[in-house]
Amino acid sequence: MHNNDIEVIIVGAGPVGLTLACELRLAGIRVAVLERRQERSRHSRALTIHGRTLEMLGLRGLDQRFVALGKCISSGHYAGLDTRLDFSGFDTPHPYTLFLPQDTTERLLEEQLLEDGVAIARGVLVEQTQQDDDGVTVAGTRDGAPFCLRARYLIGADGGRSLVRQQAGIAFDGVAATSSMLMGDVRLRHPPASPMLSLTNAAGSLMIVPLDQGRHRVIAMNARHPHAAAAQAATVEELAQASTAIAEHDFGLHDASWLSRFSDETRLARRYRQGRVFLAGDAAHIHMPAGGQGMNVGMQDAMNLGWKLAGVLKGYAADSLLDSYHAERHPVGVSLQHNTLAQTAMLTRFDARTLALRATISDMLAQPDVNRALASELSGFGLRYPAPLGANAGHADWTGRRVPDWLLRLTDGTAVGIHELLHAGKWLRLTVGDAGHAAQPYHFDAAWLTSLTIRPGCPQLAGIRSLLIRPDGYADHAV
């Protein structure tokens, strides 16, 4: 760690800090990633990578590395209801969720970062953070010895108990824990007949999903003991007892590689930006891991912030662009908080009223429109940013829309997918044919823009002359 040449300090090498570091490196920003752990966590934690996260990895040409190691599943659960969410109908190369343990996700991101020339600084505990007019100062210990670093900006990607958030004085509003779930990665002597099992009844709720190497993830909440403190040690016997009571079947749980509890504490940072300090991932939002969203939303926070920060550091854009990070991502955090609280209400109570509510919502999910609305939200495909980043106006129905990987034909006849054109992390302006009037980029340097003319004929672009696409794959505006 050399003090004089760092532009951005990221605290935390979880999936969010790593994603952001990759984005900043792509733009040539000098970044330090500080991580207190000596080694990568071996815990499987997030199993679900949703389609939009995969698409965003695809915007940088990285998606196939992840898909190759995981298992694609075309449906997902909402509160463990019987009717599953259908992801198969979205216009995307990834109409599914990918089951991939979080330790593998982190390994792949770390490998990418190493390819980009950045090694995580491990064994570094950050203890003090401060900002002034010119930059930020971060101090702590590395392998027990004190260190102090300066940079222009500081990112708190340091998880739910974020020190960066606390020292920036950013409130973490929400609701305290009322119940906790028990989970274990175990082997089963008598696995369920179908690969995935989801059950909720008066005895509690149970979910079993296959992991790799003959292991299963078992998550249970025993209706008779819903309030175990998250800190109380979990045992395989307790998990076996709860799952037998709920399923009336002994799955023969043994050989746990990881046992844990997680609570339904749900909180959201009031500000995602405080001057030169930004929060992303669990540092900005925590909730019960229902529907597999925390890591996904966090990685997408990183994809929103990375190019903006790089643009300002490179001098391509004004500082005010950075305010759009809070403006765009905080509402996503509000929705996340809302939908996980709703799921928690149905996953942690087992009285007759709640079971009736579950049956009602499950029936409603059988209606395609309702299913699609929730599938859009959880997968991330439905996200739309409400306003263009500058004063440009255009076709209102294009503003802030996710741009799928449509096939284009360049003027020389070459066929190319839109996402490939975003691999360099720059803005993309597509002009159709010899249209005289093109979508106007903001006052940024031409080095930050790829401008291409395409042949008319792409059916999805019918009716527009020019489209400006942000580096994170959302339309800014079209004319």
| Residue with Cβ nearer ligand FAD (295 or 454) | 295
Sheet of 71-73, strands arranged across: 48-49, 97-99, 71-73
> 54: alpha, beta or left, given left = phi > 0 and alpha = psi -120 to 50?
alpha
Q: What six digits make up the tokens of 244?
A: 């037998």
> 398: alpha, beta or left, given left = phi > 0 and alpha = psi -120 to 50?
alpha
Binds ligand FAD by CB under 6 A, chosen from 184, 192, 294, 400: 294
Residue 157 found at the interface with ligand FAD (CB under 6 A): yes
Residue 298 found at the interface with ligand FAD (CB under 6 A): yes
**Shortest distance in whole angstroms from residue 127 CB to ligand FAD:** 7
**Total site size for ligand FAD, rule CB under 6 A:** 34
Binds ligand FAD by CB under 6 A, chosen from 149, 218, 295, 317: 295
**Shortest distance in whole angstroms from residue 423 CB to ligand FAD:** 24
Computed on alpha carbons and rounded to an integer, the radius of gyration of the chain in Å comes to 23
Residue 184 found at the interface with ligand FAD (CB under 6 A): no
| Residue with Cβ nearer ligand FAD (16 or 218) | 16
Say how far apart CA 305 and CA 325 lie, in whole Å: 6
| Residue list 96-135, contact with ligand FAD (CB under 6 A) | 102, 124-126
Q: Give one DSSP letter per residue of 422-465, joined into a string.
A: GTT--EEEEEETT-S--PPP-S--GGGEEEEEE-TT-GGGTT-S
| Residue list 442-471, contact with ligand FAD (CB under 6 A) | none
Binds ligand FAD by CB under 6 A, chosen from 241, 293, 340, 344: 293
DSSP state of 410: B
| Residue with Cβ nearer ligand FAD (262 or 406) | 262
Residue 281 found at the interface with ligand FAD (CB under 6 A): yes
What's CA 371's distance to the chain center, in Å?
21
Residue 390 found at the interface with ligand FAD (CB under 6 A): no
**Shortest distance in whole angstroms from residue 10 CB to ligand FAD:** 9
Residue 262 found at the interface with ligand FAD (CB under 6 A): yes
**Shortest distance in whole angstroms from residue 350 CB to ligand FAD:** 20
| Residue list 19-58, contact with ligand FAD (CB under 6 A) | 34-37, 45-48
Q: What six digits make up the tokens of 37?
A: 């752990």
| Residue with Cβ nearer ligand FAD (50 or 60) | 50
Mark the segment that binds ligand FAD (CB under 6 A) among 13-21, 23-31, 65-73, 143-151. Answer: 13-21
Cα separations in angstroms, 377 against 102, 205, 344, 403: 21, 24, 16, 16
Phi and psi of 340, rounded to 5°? -75, -35
Sheet of 266-269, strands arranged across: 172-175, 266-269, 285-286
Residue 394 found at the interface with ligand FAD (CB under 6 A): no
Residues that bind ligand FAD (CB under 6 A): 11-17, 34-37, 45-48, 102, 124-126, 157-159, 163, 183, 262, 281-282, 289, 292-296, 298
